[in-house]
Structure formats: structure tokens, C-alpha cells
Amino acid sequence: MNTLPAPLLAKISWRLLPFLLLMYIMAFLDRANVGFAKQAFQADTGLSDAAFAFGAGVFFVGYALLEVPSNLILHRVGARLWMCRIMVSWGLISAAMVFAHNETSFYLLRFLLGVAEAGFFPGVILYLTYWFPQAVRGKAMGFFYFGAPLAFIFGSPLSGLLLEMDGFAGIHGWQWLFAVEGLMATAVGIWAYWYLDNRPADAKWLSADEREQIQTLLDAEDQHKTSHGRSLLNVLCQPSVLYLCLVYLLIQASVYGVVFYLPTQVGDLLGTKVGLMVGLVSAIPWICALFAAWWIPGYSDRTGERRRTACLTLLMAAAGIACSVTFTNPLLGMLALCFAASGFIAVQPVFWTFPSSYLAGSAAAAGIALINSFGALGGFIAPVIKHWAEGAFHSPAAGLYLLSATTVLAALLVLGIHSPGRTASNTPATV
């Protein structure tokens, strides 16, 4: 048997996934709220579009630099302590954005926010490999990915409401946004220290038989993974890992090219400024993404068609990105954004089944972190190339057309990955 009994899987899932989901909601909210603050922040500080694009992207430079060492530390000291450190530090730095009154302070705080948050996402992906066998990992990761759409479903109206508190107690709306959402992340980080267990062996809510059952299956899967007996450098430099780095960079470029500018884009479609109404409407694409993040990874687990599923999902995202700036009709534009958000959210849990299928231990910690680091670079590149394309082609649509093309390229490259499919625990993924 290559998976766990359904009651035990349900027990693990209900214990861990809702809390990990909450953590991801906080992470994505603190990462993307700069998009909501954009108009008001620029109006109050005088920041240019180019400066904002660079500041939005510089987060990912700090994030990428510390991904690998952060994940190796998590593997060594455990998720309980390290996740607490990550969330508390990034929450406090995010709250400190209230003091960003010029380009220098904006750049510095965004960079430090990336440094603080480094290791969170790959840490969770690694953490899931400690608890879920390969056969059901896609669905588990899909549930975790609910965090991104939920962050926007609930966070978009919240961010819009906080912006409309402009002037309350003599504080700007964008300052309220950063302070409240940053302190929320800090509170969840403190909670994580008391809630998370590092490994199944530490889980007092499992019986001794259940702990042994989980560990026996996961140890058996690890024996078939290619990372054993190889140096960390050799693992990180193998072509399959580097290939996945490139694919994920392109995926994340499409994600953040849309995420950072979605509120502004929705405001333009509606003909109004970013506020509560834009926040409510901006939540619609993420409701669609929520359903996609559940159904598509589950489908890939059931069929084993991971490559084909990922490719078609990315093509759907590319079409949505391109059509979102092609259509001027608000209804059609929102429909296109629904396809875009559904595609680039749902493809990611499918993608992460590839590296986790053949990396184990410290190699998994480092490999997953390296791949995510390249994804972070995609987040840095996206706003910069979007701004460049709009200027170079003298068209506000050029940037998203370019990002649509890079998403198509990612879809084609996915087909170059040999998916482990149903026999994931026995067959390493290769290029």
C-alpha cells in the first residue's frame, strides 16, 4: 500500500492543513497588500511607477538570497521554532511599513520583509513531506494553496476597508493596512510555536501505532529517492532541479505580474479608485481559484497525469492574462481574470509534486528552497519587465501580453518533465 488509511489521513489533514492554510493566508496577505496600497501610497509619498515596481520586486531579492539556508535551518531545528521566528519577524517588519515615507525606506523595508519571510513557503512544502505520502501529496498541497485565494477573498475587502480609514486617528489608510495585517501575522506566528509538531514522532494527538504507521511508509518512500548518498551540491546542480527552477521562475512571474496590479486593473475596469468596492470585486477571481486549487490537484492525484494537467492549467492562465487586457467590457475582463487566477494558483500544488517525488532529507530542504528562490526571482522580474514593456511598446497592455507569453513558455517546459505519476514513490522525476 502506497498511502495511509483514510481515517488516519483525515486525522492528519484536519489537524495540520487548516493551520498551515491560515499561515499561508497571512503570508500572501502581507506579500501582496502592497498592490492594494499602491495608489494611496504613491499619492502620499510621491513614489513613481518605476520606483514602486522596483520596491514591489526587491522583496523577492531578499527572499531568494536566504531561502536555502532558512530551509536547512528548519530541517535541523524543526518547523515549530523556525516557523514562529519567520512569521513574527515578517509580521513586525510588515507593520513597520507605516514608516516608509520615501524610496529608500520603502526599498529597505521591502527587502527586509523578503529576508524575514525567506524559507516560509518551501518550509511548509518540506513540512508536508514529513506527514503526507507521495500518492496524496498533490491534494494536500492543493488544500494549502487555498491560502492564496482565501487571502484575497477575505483580505481584499479587509484591505479596501482599511484604506478607507484614511485620516482616522491622524493615520493614512495605507498605514492602517500595513499595521493591522502585519500584527495579525505576528499573532499567528506566536500561536504556531504552541500548535505545530515537528514530526509525526512528536505528535501526542496520534497513537503510537499511528505514528509508527506514518513513519514506516514515509521511510520506505525515501529509500527510493535519488538524493541519498549524494552531496548537497550535486543534488542542487543536477539538471532536473535546475530545470524545475526555470519552470517555477516563469510560473511565479505570471503570478506576481497579475497579483501586484490586480486591484488597479479591477479599478480601471470598474472606473473607480481602489477601495472597498474594488476589494469586493477583486475577490471574485480568487473564489474561482479556490475551486480550481481543490479540483485540479485532486484530478492529477487520481489520474497520475501531472505533466498534462500542469501544462493545460498554465495555458488557461496564459489565455486569461492576455484576455484580461484585451477586453474592455468589465464582465469579460473579470471573467478573464478568473481564468488567470484559477490557472496560476491551481498549477502550483501540481508542480510541487515533482521535486518532492525524488528529493529527501536535507536535499529536499535545499532543493525545494532553491526552486522557490528562482520563483522569488520571477516575482522580482515580473513588475520590472511589465513596466519596461509598457514603456517600450507604448501600451498599457504590453506588460501583461509579455507575461502571458512567458506563461505559455512555462506550459511547454512542463512537458519536458517526466512525471512519476501513480508510481511516484518508486520512480524519480527526471528531465
Enter the C-alpha cell of residue 428. 524519480
Instruction: Give the residue extent of every domain in the chain.
Output: 6-423
By the 8 A CB rule, do 419 and 311 touch? no
**C-alpha dihedral, 413 to 417 to 419 to 420, nearest 10°:** -160
Cα 336-341-346 angle, rounded to 5 deg = 130
Least-confidence region, from 138-142, 154-158, 383-387, 425-429: 425-429
Question: Using the 8-state DSSP alphabet, how is residue 328 labeled?
Answer: -
What's the rounded Cα separation, in Å, for the pair 294 and 280?
22
Judge whether residue 352 has pLDDT over 50.
yes
Cα distances (Å, whole numbers) of residue 331 to 197, 286, 340, 348, 414 = 46, 15, 14, 27, 31
265/83: higher pLDDT: 83
Judge whether residue 225 has pLDDT over 80.
no
Number of Cα atoms under 13 Å in the Cβ half of residue 280: 5
Determine the average pLDDT of the residues in 119-143.
85
Least-confidence region, from 44-48, 135-139, 331-335, 350-354: 135-139
Judge whether residue 326 has pLDDT over 80.
yes
Other beta carbons within 10 angstroms of residue 321's beta carbon come to: 29
Query: Which of 135, 131, 141, 128 is closest to 296 using CA atoms?
Result: 141
What's the rounded Cα separation, in Å, for the pair 61 and 87?
18
Judge whether residue 428 has pLDDT over 60.
no
What's the CATH class of domain 6-423? Answer: mainly alpha
From start to end of 228-357, where are the E strands?
none
Q: What was the pLDDT predicted at 71?
A: 85
418/386: higher pLDDT: 386
**C-alpha dihedral, 358 to 149 to 118 to 180, nearest 10°:** -160
Give the tens place of pLDDT for each residue, 18-70: 999 899 888 878 777 887 788 788 888 888 888 888 887 788 788 888 888 88
Q: What 3-state class would DSSP assign to 226?
A: coil
Q: What was the pLDDT predicted at 113?
A: 92
Binned at pLDDT 50, 70 and 90, residue 260 comes out as: low
Binned at pLDDT 50, 70 and 90, residue 420 comes out as: very low
Judge whether residue 358 has pLDDT over 80.
no
